[in-house]
Amino acid sequence: MSKFFPANFPNRQYQLLFTQGSGENKEEIINYEFDTKDLVCLGLSSIVGVWYLLRKHWIANNLFGLAFSLNGVELLHLNNVSTGCILLGGLFIYDIFWVFGTNVMVTVARSFEAPIKLVFPQDLLEKGLEADNFAMLGLGDIVIPGIFIALLLRFDISLKKNTHTYFYTSFAAYIFGLGLTIFIMHIFKHAQPALLYLVPACIGFPVLVALAKGEVTEMFSYEESDPKDPAAVAESKEGAEASASEGLEKKEK
């Protein structure tokens, strides 16, 4: 967030503290620290929120949708590729059933007035910002593949090769799958389950790259430790200390 503010921005620190009781029985209820940049962001977010509440405009809807999606990818984590494949595979079947088997998914998406989807105006050139004919993309179609792509980025980093091959491959696969979804929807004039095309692309492309590079075993054996696990914390501290000692040795040389 800091990179969006100029270097000479007058930033001040604040603390919001609520306590209960007094003396030895005093207990903290809320202890929240923030700064001027946070207040600016809060003000801008409030403007967008009021805009959405009053107008239900598609741009405000998409701003909230993108924010929720980014938070979802940040907060939700997969610990290994196998779990990711199982999750995507299950939702692949789920999405197909609820779109082709019944019309519940489409009906809910169209009737539920909340930023649970991104909307793309199909009559933008005719009506401009007042467009009212939309194509929709559910946030689940962003977050679920997104957490799998984020896992592959962490796998790239674990290989210590200074390349992000699997991340770029899966990201390109997502764009390909989304483009294919739009193309099929345009041809058949019917709502399409996006995961029908996204899941095979996001899993298939990276696996093909792993096969070509001979890293399939490494990919499916890669597993992340729980960051709250004491053993994982100790291991990360040891790694940091080792890196620091190596840096000192190089400086001495």
Q: Could you give the residue numbers annotated as active site? A: 95, 141
Question: Rounded distance, CA 15 to CA 34, Å?
Answer: 6
- The helix/strand/coil state of 20 is strand
Question: Rounded distance, CA 161 to CA 206, Å?
Answer: 16
- The helix/strand/coil state of 28 is strand
Question: Rounded distance, CA 114 to CA 211, Å?
Answer: 42
The tokens describing 32, both together, are 């929240």
Residue with tokens 């919001």: 16
Residue 193 CB partners (closer than 8 Å, separation 6+): 95, 96, 98, 99, 100, 105
Considering only CA atoms, give the Rg of the chain: 23
Question: Which DSSP symbol is given to 25?
Answer: G
Question: Rounded distance, CA 133 to CA 65, Å?
Answer: 18
The one-letter amino acid code at 169 reads T
Residue 2 CB partners (closer than 8 Å, separation 6+): 37
The tokens describing 67, both together, are 């924010």
Residue 56, Ramachandran bin (φ over 0: left; ψ between -120 and 50: alpha; else beta)? left
